[in-house]
Structure formats: C-alpha cells, structure tokens
Amino acid sequence: MSNEIWVFAEQQEGKVRRVAFELLSAAADFSKKTGSTVAGILLGSGLQEALKSLTSYADKIYLLDDPGLAAYTSDAYLIHMAPLIKEHQPSILLGGATSTGKDLFPRLAMHLQTGYAPDCTGLTIEENGKLIAKRPLYGGKVFAEMIYLEAKPQMATVRNNTFLVNQNLNKSAQVIPISSPIDPSSLKKKVIGLEKAAGAKLDITEAEIVVAAGRGIKAPENFKIMEELADVLNASVGTTRATVDEGWRDVKDQIGKSGKNISAKLYMAFGVSGAIHHILGIGTCKTVVAVDTDPNALIFNYADYGIVGDLFQIVPALTEELKKAMAEK
Amino acid sequence: MDIYVLVKQVPDPEANVKVKSDVELEIENKYFTNFFDEIAIEAGLKLREKFGGKVTVLTVDNKKVDALRRGIAMGADDAIQITDPALEGSDPFAIAKTLAAYLKDKPFDLILAGRQAMDDDAGIVGPGVAELLGIPHVNMIVGLEIDDPKKELKVVREVEGGKEILSCFLPALFTCQKGLNNPRIPQVMNVMKAMKAQMKKVDLAALGLSAVDVGGQAVKIKVQKYLPPPKRPPVKMIKEDFPENVKQLVKLLKEEAKVI
Ligand SMILES: Cc1cc2nc3c(=O)[nH]c(=O)nc-3n(C[C@H](O)[C@H](O)[C@@H](O)COP(=O)(O)OP(=O)(O)OC[C@H]3O[C@@H](n4cnc5c(N)ncnc54)[C@H](O)[C@@H]3O)c2cc1C
Ligand SMILES: Cc1cc2nc3c(=O)[nH]c(=O)nc-3n(C[C@H](O)[C@H](O)[C@H](O)COP(=O)(O)OP(=O)(O)OC[C@H]3O[C@@H](n4cnc5c(N)ncnc54)[C@H](O)[C@@H]3O)c2cc1C
C-alpha cells in the first residue's frame, strides 16, 4: 500500500467542483500528520483549465484526459479508475457527496471490495493513517464515527462546505498523464443530453448561503422576492416539500428528508413551519434564521435567530438592508 | 417485463432515535416503508401496466416484512423475504451481496431500488447490487421512459445545475427518488389482502452463501461510536418592531454570526 491520499477531482464542463478543493485542503492537513502524498485524480476531456486550477492544491495529479470521458458515466469512470487504484493502492480515496460522487463511489467500493462511508460531515485521521469518518444517520438524529477494517483504500464521500478551501497550499503538482484507451462501444450506458436548469444559481447543496420559503409564501409567483434576496447574498433558493407538492417549485430545490441535505454557512427560512422532515435536511447548517408569523412554529426550536413576522414585509426590507450592508464591505 | 423492487422497512422520520451507548441506538417502534422504495414500487407497477409481466418485491430482513406487505397492497405480484440468523451484523455491502445472490439466476429485466434507506441513509445497496450483477445502474432517477423493453431506454438523473439524460439497454438497475412519480395509496381491500399474504422465505444456504460471506464477519466498515447531534444554542428571538428587527438581524449576521 502506498502512503497516498487521493481526492476525486470531480469536474463538470471542465470546471472542478469546489468540494474537490475543500477535500484537497483537508487532505493537505491530514498529510501533515501522516506524511502522505496528496494526489488528485482528474477525469474528463479537454482538461487544461481544470488541471491548471488544481496544481497548487496537490502533490500529484493523475490525469485521464480522453474524449471517451467527456461525460460522466459510472461505467467509464470505473473502468479507468479501478485499475489505477489497484496499481497505486492509495490508503484513502475521498470525493464530494455530489450526485456523481454518490453514483460512483458505492459501485467503485463494491468493485474494489473495500469500505466506504457515504455523505460524511467530518473526517479525522490518526497518525497511523486510519481514517475516522463522521456521518449523520437517521437524517441527523444521531451521528456515527465509522472506522475501516483492513481493506484499502478507505473511501468516503463528504458533503459540500464541510471543510474550508485553503488557497495558500502553494503546491506544484507533478502531473501524471494516464492513457487508457477504451472502446466506447464496450460501455453499457451513455449520456445523451444535459438539460440545464434555468438561472445561474448554484445547486442548494453547493451554495454557501441558502434562503428558503415554504407554504407561507402563498403562491409560486411570490418566489420572486426570494430570488431577489438570494441575488444580494449570492445565495440559492430552497423550499419545502409543501411547495413542491403544490407544483410551485422544482423538486431539485426541496430541502429535507425526501429532498436534499444542505450544509450551508447560512440558512434562512421564511414561512417554513419546521416539520421534522424538513429540519433533518438542515442539521449541519452553521447559522439558521427563521421568520414566521406563528410564534409557536417549530422552526424556531432549530434556529439561531428568529423573527415573528410577515415574510412579505420582512423579505423585501431585508433585501434592501443587505444591499446596504454588502455595499459597505 | 420481469421487475424486482428492493424494499426496506425503516423507522419513520418522526420516530425518536437516541444514542443508548457508544455502539447502540434506541429506536422508537414506529416504522414505515422507505419512502423512496414506494416510489420504486410505483415505477415498477406503471411499467407492468404498460408491458405486462410481473413485479416482485424483495427484502432482506429477519423481522420486518411490512415493506413487502405494502408492496403487495400497492399491487406487486410476489413477495420474497430473505432471512437468516447469520445476516445479523451485516453492512450494506453484505446486504447487496445477499440480494445479488438471490437475483443472479432470476430472469429479471429491471431492478428498482430507493435512492437511500431513510435510516442508514447510505445509498449503497442499489449500485452495489448492480456491480455484483454486472449490469448498468443509474442513481437517483427522476425520469424513466421505456418505449420497448428490447430497445434503448431513456433515464433522467438530477445533477447539480440540471438534469442529465442517459440511455441504456435492459437489464439495468435504477435507484428512484422524489420527482419520478407519486406512489399510489393502496385500496383498503388490497391492504387486507396483503395482511394475509404469505411471504416466500429464502435463507442463505438456498443462495449458496454462508455466514462468512455476510454478517459481522464480512464487514469492511463499522461504527466505532454513536454520537448525539451537536446541540444548537437556544434561539435568539429578535423582538424589536419592524423595521428595526430587520436591521438588528443584519447586524447580528454580520457581527455575531459573521456569516455575511
Ligand atoms: C438482517 C440484518 C441485520 C443487520 N445488522 C446490522 C448491524 O448489526 N449493524 C448495523 O449497523 N446495521 C445492520 N443492518 C443494517 C444494514 O447494514 C443496512 O441497513 C442495510 O440493510 C442497507 O443499508 P442502508 O440501509 O444504508 O441502505 P441503502 O443503501 O441506503 O438503501 C438503498 C436502497 O437499497 C434497498 N435496500 C436497502 N436495504 C435493503 C434490504 N435490507 N432489503 C432489500 N432492499 C434493501 C432499498 O431499495 C433502499 O431504498 C442489518 C440489516 C439486516 C437486514
Ligand atoms: C415521508 C415524508 C417525507 C417528507 N419529506 C419532506 C422534505 O424532504 N422536506 C420538507 O420540507 N417536508 C417534507 N415532508 C413534509 C413535512 O412533514 C411538512 O408537511 C412540510 O415540511 C411543511 O412545509 P411548509 O413548512 O412549507 O408548510 P406549512 O407546514 O404549511 O408551514 C407554513 C408556515 O408558514 C407560516 N406563514 C404563513 N404565512 C406567513 C407569512 N405571511 N409570513 C411568514 N410566515 C408565514 C405559517 O405560520 C407556517 O408556519 C415530508 C413528509 C413525509 C410524511
């Protein structure tokens, strides 16, 4: 086994996801304790920019730049990654708990017959290189510290915003191009298209700030005031199941047990009653603000700051106040 | 079409779950069929309505068979319980191994599972089964279009910033999530029928597996310690009148929480 920590440098359309930089920063910290080499593994097609963005974050980059990898499929990625992992035997392999990470890692772990901790909200390492992965269970009602038995690599996917990006690592990675031509016709799946969501906002799982409205917003067109608030904060707009079931919002923006878990730095909820199903999706947010007309709304039990008030009054005023505050910065 | 749906009975999200000791949880006895598995059952039933065939629900569990009953009540044709004392202590990989061992010589066209079980929230079993069976999988689908089971089908998965459309041939495995459909509510008659239904039981020996393949002996990862969730400090209610309350909030976010 080598003493390497690998980070899956997931990219979409040539841009490496922020969570990969977060994990490379965490890995750099771990390596101080274990003396490990930190390596990124980058797959795709036309990766010049992606590679450039990564080199100061890793000691090594395994580069698989191949037209056959233009779009992610688990088949194509697995065929490329598995032999490389078997050859180099990293002690740890980390990735973001993104839609791609959650699609690829469990299958890869099964293929490699190794341990995998999904959707982690914390990682620590011991001097002997043993990883301890912390993950929420039962939607965050309890947490578990998981440890790995013998098999390597120790695999984990980690939620966005779990670690901070350290822009001062100043590494200069050695790039190791890997050529593994595969016959694309051997693959069983192919991507035939991508429908981009309207608007340029980040997915709610990736955004550092998420503002949400629930049924209290009363009508789909009223989400306009939420979009305006979000724009000031560079935030994304989330919601509850109630509005999704009404057909007001897309399910991709639903926060909670049957939607998404978010780990935002700041989460602000307006007209959200705070049902446990919703709360389970925000357990790892750092600061929570709640605004509701009902002083007994459950959401206040989970908030850091609360205002009893009418969102139609508060949201526009808050947008204006934040504009001023941001301008002062 | 021959469709298998993997189902699990899990604690209801409203159930109390507490840490009892470092390695033990106390779970309130309030269970339901995993929400995402109902979506998978619904998807299977819709395809059967279109193409004919059979929907079989399948669970690995030594005690709880209510997810199977739910499947039958919704309209599944058959229900299988894989049960064996040696399964105790299994991790999701062992469960996947067990399911794959059952499925490997069945004439399936399609296997459906939930995005994740609402207890361990792992999302491992679906892709794990697909890997062991050597069939393609797509995780967390929100769309599925099959015109002809012999031809290429279209499946949609959500990705950050959009939806990705993929094509593949059957047999395949998909894990289902909200957005794919709205599961039907079973009719009372069918619920009664399901209460009386006999589940077929299968043990490990019948699958050619033994205790070393599953259970505690096969785990690759284990819980070292359960922890309660971090406690939030009590809420600070901002009591000033409007618009002072808004000003106060911005001040707190800036100076106290330091998040903007
Ligand atoms: C007999 C038994 C003993 C166990 N003992 C322990 C133990 O000692 N310690 C411990 O920590 N855990 C134990 N488990 C729990 C086990 O590790 C996982 O819960 C496993 O069942 C699946 O992982 P998951 O719940 O995270 O499923 P996920 O991977 O999140 O599930 C995704 C999907 O896979 C399917 N699926 C999942 N589980 C099953 C199943 N059992 N049958 C059919 N389909 C399924 C469903 O479609 C589900 O939506 C045991 C489970 C069983 C059945
Ligand atoms: C299996 C299962 C899974 C579920 N999964 C999820 C999930 O993933 N995510 C999720 O969110 N829910 C989920 N739910 C649903 C959940 O139980 C609640 O029904 C839902 O979260 C309620 O949404 P809401 O807060 O928008 O609506 P409501 O509960 O109707 O709350 C609306 C709130 O708005 C307030 N309000 C009204 N007018 C105003 C105003 N002018 N200004 C300010 N406040 C106002 C009201 O006082 C109230 O508190 C799930 C339920 C089940 C059974």
B40: left (phi over 0), alpha (psi -120 to 50) or beta: alpha
Residue A184: the pLDDT is 65
> pLDDT for A276-299, tens place per residue?
999 999 999 999 999 999 999 999
**B211 is a domain residue:** yes
Q: Give tens-digit pLDDT for B20-36.
A: 999 999 999 999 999 99
Average pLDDT in chain A = 94
Distance B96 CA to ligand 1 centre (A): 8
Q: What does the pLDDT look like over A200-238, one tens digit per residue?
A: 789 999 999 999 999 999 999 999 999 999 999 999 999
Å from B196 to nearest chain A CA? 30
Same domain, B131 and B29: yes
Pairwise CB contact (< 8 Å): A137 & B121: yes
Nearest CA to ligand 2 atom 48: A273
Res B185 pLDDT > 80: yes
Residue A1 pLDDT greater than 70, yes or no: no
- Number of CB atoms found within 10 A of residue A164's CB: 10
Between CA A153 and CA A25 the distance in angstroms is: 19
Whether B160 maps to a domain, the answer reads yes
**CB–CB contact B124 A99 (8 Å):** no
Does residue B16 carry a pLDDT above 80? yes
Domain ranges of chain A: 4-186, 209-327
Q: Does B218 touch chain A (CB under 8 A)?
A: no
* Separation in Å, CA A103 to CA A95, A198, B77: 11, 24, 30
CATH architecture of A4-186: 3-Layer(aba) Sandwich (3.40)
Task: CATH number of the domain at B88, please.
Answer: 3.40.50.620
Shared domain check, B67 and B166: yes
> Does the C-beta of B32 come closer than 6 Å to ligand 2?
no
Same domain, B238 and B175: no
Identify the pLDDT of residue A170.
95
| Count of residues making up chain A | 329
- Residue-number span of the structural domain to which B51 is assigned: 2-218
Q: Do domains A4-186 and A209-327 have the same CATH topology?
A: yes
Share of chain B above pLDDT 70, in %: 100
- DSSP 8-state class, residue B254: I
Cis peptide before B136 (omega within 30 of 0): no
What's the total number of domains in chain B? 2
Q: Are B157 and B239 in a shared domain? A: no
| Confidence grade of residue A181 (pLDDT, cut at 50, 70, 90) | low
Ligand 2 pocket member A256 (CB < 6 A): yes
Predicted pLDDT at A2: 78
Average pLDDT over residues A103-108: 98
Name all residues whose Cβ lies below 6 A of ligand 1: B 6-8, 34, 36-37, 58-62, 87-92, 95, 99, 113-114, 116-117, 119-126, 223
- Domain shared by B95 and B36, yes or no: yes
Q: Which long-range contacts (CB under 8 A, 24 or more apart) does A29-35 make?
A: A29/A166, A30/A5, A30/A92, A30/A123, A30/A125, A31/A5, A33/A125, A33/A126, A33/A127, A34/A3, A34/A5, A34/A125, A34/A127, A34/A128, A34/A129, A35/A3
pLDDT on residue A285: 96
Counting atoms of ligand 2 from 1, which one is nearest the CA of A274?
A: 25
Query: Percent of chain B beyond pLDDT 90?
Result: 96
Contacts of B25 in chain A (CB under 8 A): 142
Contacts 24+ apart (CB under 8 A), B19-23: B19/A142, B19/B226, B19/B227, B19/B228, B21/B226, B22/B224, B22/B225, B22/B226, B23/B223, B23/B225, B23/B226
Q: Which fold has domain A209-327?
A: Rossmann fold (3.40.50)
Interface test with B, best of A72, A77, A124, A137 (most B CBs within 10 A): A137
ipTM summary value = 0.95
Identify the pLDDT of residue A145. Answer: 98
Indicate yes or no: CB of A307 within 8 angstroms of CB of B238: yes
Q: How would you class B249 by CB atoms within 10 Å of its CB: exposed for 0-12, middle for 13-18, buried for 19 or more?
A: buried
Inter-chain CB proximity A146 and B224 less than 8 Å: yes
- Asked which of A42-46, B32-36, B217-221 is least confident by mean pLDDT, the reply is B217-221
Q: Is there a single domain that holds both residue B38 and residue B152?
A: yes
Q: Give the type of residue at A181.
A: P
A257 touches chain B (CB under 8 A): yes
Q: Distances in Å between the alpha carbon of B216 and those of A153, B64, B85, B133?
A: 20, 20, 11, 23
- The reply to whether B165 and B246 lie within a common domain is no
